[in-house]
Amino acid sequence: MSASAAGRSEAGSAVAGPAVSLPITTDRASSHETEPVAKPRRRPRWALLGLTPFAAYTLLFLAVPTVLALATGFFDGDGAFTLDNLTALFEPAVLGAFASSFWVSAVTAIAGALVGSLVCYALLAVRPDGFIRTIVDAASSVLAQFGGVMLAFAFIATIGIQGLITVFLKDSVGVDIFANGVWLYQVPGLLLPYLYFQVPLMIITFMPAMEGLKRTWSEANATLGGTRFTYWTRIAMPVLAPSFFGSLLLLFANAFSSYATAAALISQGAQIVPLQIRGALISETVLGRENLAGALAIGMIIVMVVMMTGYSALQARTERWQR
């Protein structure tokens, strides 16, 4: 064997041997471990002054009314502590108002969630920065906040007793939408106006979760022999479920607390809880009790706390998937 061949043989055995050491890699690792970790810079405390306007707004229009509502619910007209106001929550008239608020909120929340999720699914097929997506996002942001007297007037002018569509259907087609009663000015008439802002709100809150679905999940499903149906039933829907039900709770709370639209449409009676609170504030004594508005507000606060607690828990679970 020649010397060069022997040298190549010894070099090959050295490379193939199990006891090969890589000092360069070891040095890099050790140097990497000894590098100091840069600590994040702390912002100065005066930067918190930027939160002052928001804190003042929250204090004046959220914290103070909540405390006043809780306080007045436990006191009578003379300022003495009592629990009689809370027992009024179990009166048939009050229970009926809560039942009406519950079913209107539930129906509009479920319908708005279903329609809004279908719109979000359709938007996945368009470009995120395209014309259609821009128009839908802008319209949803505006319509989700379009409520109150303006929304009530729009429906009165459109499908009211002398509304444009009502008169057109009656004169041209012979269809009277109010043949069985003027339902627009009762509790069932709140369904259409509430859906007007529930669907856009669902699009705003649920679309980020739809966009969080990773393309690699669909590709992995197809690689393993899965179909489109198995992808949605076994991957996408379980991932989207927390966000969907969280948005559903948000829509329920939004409808349950709505007041201005109902007050403009339903001029008589206290058929839902917000209108009953208005009636209790106008009349000092309702159902033989004073400060009943505070007790009704306590009932609404309890419902809202439960809804928003569930929404926060589901939203936290959704954010884990989006990360």
Distance separating alpha carbons of residues 255 and 194, to the nearest angstrom: 7
Greater confidence, 92 or 31? 92
Q: How many CB atoms lie within 10 A of CB 232?
A: 16
Banded model confidence at residue 241, pLDDT cuts 50, 70, 90: very high
Query: What pLDDT score was predicted for residue 181?
Result: 82
Q: Quick one: tokens of 112?
A: 């708005």
Tell me: the pLDDT tens digits for 72-105?
778 776 777 777 778 878 888 888 889 999 999 9
Query: What pLDDT score was predicted for residue 1?
Result: 46
> How far, in Å, are 101, 132, 133 from residue 127 at the CA level?
39, 8, 7
Beta strands (DSSP E) in the chain are: 285-286, 289-290
Mean pLDDT, rounded, for 240-251: 93
Distance separating alpha carbons of residues 272 and 260, to the nearest angstrom: 12
Q: Are 293 and 84 in contact (CB under 8 A)?
A: no
Distance separating alpha carbons of residues 262 and 32, to the nearest angstrom: 65
CA proximity to 239, closest of 252, 221, 257? 221
Banded model confidence at residue 283, pLDDT cuts 50, 70, 90: low
Greater confidence, 45 or 225? 225
Most confident of 89-93, 106-110, 223-227: 106-110
Query: What pLDDT score was predicted for residue 44?
Result: 66
pLDDT over threshold 90, residue 254: yes
Tell me: the pLDDT tens digits for 141-192?
999 988 888 899 999 999 988 899 999 999 998 888 988 888 888 888 899 9
- Give the predicted TM-score (pTM) of the model: 0.78
pLDDT over threshold 50, residue 301: yes
Query: What pLDDT score was predicted for residue 9?
Result: 44
Q: What's the mean per-residue pLDDT of the chain?
A: 81
pLDDT over threshold 80, residue 259: yes
The amino acid occupying position 234 is R
Burial (0-12, 13-18, 19+ Cβ within 10 Å), 197: buried
CA proximity to 156, closest of 198, 184, 186? 184
Mean pLDDT, rounded, for 255-272: 82
Distance separating alpha carbons of residues 250 and 131, to the nearest angstrom: 28
Query: What pLDDT score was predicted for residue 38?
Result: 56
Q: Are 272 and 107 in contact (CB under 8 A)?
A: no
Greater confidence, 31 or 212? 212
Distance separating alpha carbons of residues 188 and 190, to the nearest angstrom: 5
Provide the b/e sequence for 308-322 (b: ≥16 CB within 10 Å): eebbeebbeebeeee
The amino acid occupying position 117 is S
Banded model confidence at residue 12, pLDDT cuts 50, 70, 90: very low
Q: Which of 28-32, 165-169, 238-242 has the lowest mean pLDDT?
A: 28-32
The domains of the chain, with CATH numbers, are 79-322 (1.10.3720.10)
